[in-house]
Amino acid sequence: MKEITLPVSEFRERCLRLLNQVAKDGDMLILTKRGQPVARVTAINKPPKSLRGTWKGVVEIKGDIVYFDTADIWDAAR
């Protein structure tokens, strides 16, 4: 990731190409007006995809793994 400083007029001329570069490489653009920085252009980080529902149709629930009856397994329980 590199930081590129350029005047607004130059950004206006090459806007689409510069935005594609920012999205692809993660570069940061600092736009200046009369030598003074006025704006920063950076890529937007995509939020991570939610894991909710990713096992749907893959895993089968056979019963409750927290509260289960073991009375038929243990003789001492009776």
Spell 61-73 as b/e; 16+ CB within 10 A means b.
eeeeeeeeeeeee
Q: What is the pLDDT of residue 17?
A: 94
Q: What is the pLDDT of residue 76?
A: 61
Residue 29 domain flag: yes
32 CB-contact burial (10 Å; exposed 0-12 / middle 13-18 / buried 19+) = middle
Q: In the chain, how long is the greatest CA-to-CA distance?
A: 88
Residue 9 domain flag: yes
Beta bridge partners of 28: 3
Q: What is the pLDDT of residue 67?
A: 74
Residue 34: give its domain's CATH number.
3.40.1620
Which structural domain, as residue segments, surrounds residue 23?
3-41
Give the global pTM: 0.56
Residue 32 domain flag: yes
Residue 76 domain flag: no
Residue ranges in the chain modelled with pLDDT below 70: 75-78
Long-range residue pairs from 70-78, CB within 8 A, at least 24 positions apart, any chain: none
Q: What is the pLDDT of residue 72?
A: 74
